[in-house]
Structure 1
Amino acid sequence: MMGHFMDIKETAEYLNVSVSWLYKNAQRSGLVIYRFGPGPNSKIRFRVSEVESWVKQQQVMSG
């Protein structure tokens, strides 16, 4: 079964960042973006499981 996806607004809310931050920094930060459809009207989606994995990788160990 294919993983569930979130749109850009849902992903921004999940990560507590702005939509504009996601547009500017998602790929640079290592988040995988999926585009559905051609051209400027394509839909941007993020796979939930990959976003959750990315969050875990951002943990900073203190010590």
Structure 2
Amino acid sequence: MTDEYDIIPHKEIKALKKEIDELKKGQETSSGKTLQNTIEDMSMNMQKMTEMFKEALGS
């Protein structure tokens, strides 16, 4: 018995693979972000989250 069914359309998988390859090469992705920008955004969001938790613990 073969697993011949799709959970995610092939078109979406191809787009994700392309974006991963672009990130690996350090190029801008189709979403317009470089890996460095994505990491910086994530870091900033984590800092904001940490500050929120500190405020919540202080109240």
Question: What TM-score do you get using the length of structure 2 for normalisation?
Answer: 0.33
Larger strand fraction of residues: 1
The answer to which structure, 1 or 2, has the higher relative contact order (CA under 8 A, 6+ apart) is 1
Which structure has greater helix proportion? 2
Whichever of the two has the greater Rg, that structure is: 2
Q: Could you state the TM-score of these two structures normalised by the residue count of structure 1? A: 0.31
